[in-house]
Amino acid sequence: MANPEISTNERWPGLIGQYKVNTALQYDRTYTNVQAWGYEALAKKRNHRSSGLTEDLKPVELFKFHLGEIPDEEKPSLPSSLNYKKAITDYLREIGKVEKSPTHYVAKDTIHICWPNVNFMNNVLLILTIPAEFTDKAKGIMRECALNANLISTLRSSHLQFTTEPEAAALYCMKVSSEYFDNLVGKSFLICDCGGGTVDLTARTILEDNKLGEITERTGDFCGGTYVDREFVRYLRGKVGSTAIDLLIENYYDQYQYMIQKFCKHVKLPFTGDRNTFKLVEFDLAEYCKVIKQYVKGEEKLILEEDEWILELDFETIKSMFDPVVGRIIRLIRGQLAAGGNCSAMFLVGGFSESKYLQSRIKEEFDSRVKIIAVPRQPIAAIVRGAVEYGLKINTIKTRVLTYTYGVDCSPEWTDGDPPERKTSKGRIIKFFEMVKRGTRVEVDQEFTERFVPVFPDQTGITFSVYVTKEYNAVYCDDPGMRLLGTLSIDLPDTHLGLNRPVLYTLSFGQMEINCAAKNQITGDIYNTTFALDLD
């Protein structure tokens, strides 16, 4: 299929004409069965009655954030009886039920690449996009959830592949970059993917034969468009009281969501940051969230009744909702430009990239350093369309930059100068043996190989603990920031050869997931090797 047609899915349960669907689920009372998902899970209660939904249960949202390395207090709360892995699994299962298109199509969070007249389970490549800051453990959990959702038949199925959101966006932008450059080879560009929850950045360069190389380490943060919504809610708490907001969320979550949607439509999206053209915004609480009036008490109620429940949002108030979020995005961009050197263009994608204020702040800050700062067509669909491009031509990605230092535990003999308290009863010391350093640019099929020999003549296997760290020069496996990634197990047959069994074990880090292999250095025999991620 030389130039396959890519169609973006626009038909979801209860929603037509939108490229993305809400990451939300509505369960029954026991949180066992999904009764609605996506937009329908957030629909107003009058719509719930017709579908038989329990009206006093809040929908479950943003559960994928539990995979991110953010403080627990920043993670969305979940019902005590619901595990985030089950929520992810249930959502993937619902996505998998979306009607299959005869051409390639895409869906939010999960991207299916389908060919006509084939069995979905066995012949479809499933691409999962993940934020840049997700760890190998997070990928392992996503793979586990995809298996439990019956999207793949085995845990290590090759029918499931990962790409990061900025990488997928970069593939999309590479395809549209011909609109901005006559000669693409050698051009470098920065992708700033501004989504709802996360902002992910990656610097890329276009190589010969339409290959894409990564220049800098991928970076990201939880500072997407929904954090502007949070600032609005923080402002509301100051006007109506925190208790009123808490009760509203607890008892009328659909009305709370409706009010947020009105904020986005009438305040967030229209705000440009141009003081000269700005007009005072009157936000009518009585119209957008009438039920909140019953929860407002005391002085706040007297003030709001006098103002007829209308909040006057002036320029500085709205700007103050954006600035903490926009400031974090600008700092991320500044760091990428400092690390990546010359940049031919910057592309803003994702739903939040359509904010005129965000665009103007970025251009104001960086237009002297980057000649082209642009928002390509369909920025909200850039990731999903780029992910399909990735699935069609996985070898388009030539290099990636590692965001972690990888290594294994080793036990050399303890020597003078080593910490005395680390000396084992056998006169050895457990250290971190670095295999590849954070920031290394690696080919996607590049292998890192080490040699070892059995310690005992009758040894039938060996096990390594694989560790990752953000540090560049780690020494011990219990250093701060060190994390156990998983366990590498290698079978050692041919015990009749005793210690004469030098083994080469190989780890590959260029793909989105770690691959491993081992063989006898003398005979070339391939040994059975497994790598089990630590998912606890």
Residue 89 CB burial class (10 angstroms; 0-12, 13-18, ≥19):
buried
**What would the pLDDT profile of 17-34 be if each residue is shown by its tens digit?**
777 788 889 999 899 999
Range from 174-178, 295-299, 404-408 carrying the lowest mean pLDDT: 174-178
The verdict on 464 and 331 lying in the same domain is no
Please check the confidence at residue 398 and state whether its pLDDT lies above 60. Answer: yes
What is the domain extent for residue 36?
6-158
Is there a domain that residue 299 lies in?
no
Is there a domain that residue 450 lies in?
yes
Among the three residues 391, 415, 444, which one is the final residue of a domain in this structure?
A: 391
The verdict on 407 and 387 lying in the same domain is no
Is there a domain that residue 407 lies in?
yes
Question: pLDDT at position 467, please?
Answer: 94
Is there a domain that residue 501 lies in?
yes
> What's the CATH number where 468 sits?
2.60.34.10
The verdict on 330 and 385 lying in the same domain is yes
The verdict on 147 and 194 lying in the same domain is no
The verdict on 406 and 375 lying in the same domain is no
The verdict on 87 and 113 lying in the same domain is yes
Question: pLDDT at position 47, please?
Answer: 41
The verdict on 420 and 529 lying in the same domain is yes
pTM of the entire structure? Answer: 0.78
| d(C-alpha 499, C-alpha 492), whole Å | 11
The verdict on 147 and 187 lying in the same domain is no
C-alpha dist (Å) from residue 487 to 12, 145, 172, 468? 41, 20, 36, 12
Q: What is the dihedral of CA 31, 32, 35, 39, to 10 degrees?
A: 60
Count of structural domains within the chain: 3
Does residue 21 or residue 172 have the better pLDDT? 172
Question: pLDDT at position 46, please?
Answer: 39
Is there a domain that residue 145 lies in?
yes
Does residue 153 or residue 49 have the better pLDDT? 153
Is there a domain that residue 256 lies in?
no
Is there a domain that residue 268 lies in?
no
| d(C-alpha 307, C-alpha 510), whole Å | 60
Mean pLDDT of the chain: 85
| d(C-alpha 254, C-alpha 274), whole Å | 33
Is there a domain that residue 273 lies in?
no
State the alpha helices, DSSP H only, in 212-252. 226-240, 242-251
| d(C-alpha 292, C-alpha 506), whole Å | 61
The verdict on 332 and 196 lying in the same domain is yes
Identity of the residue numbered 90: D
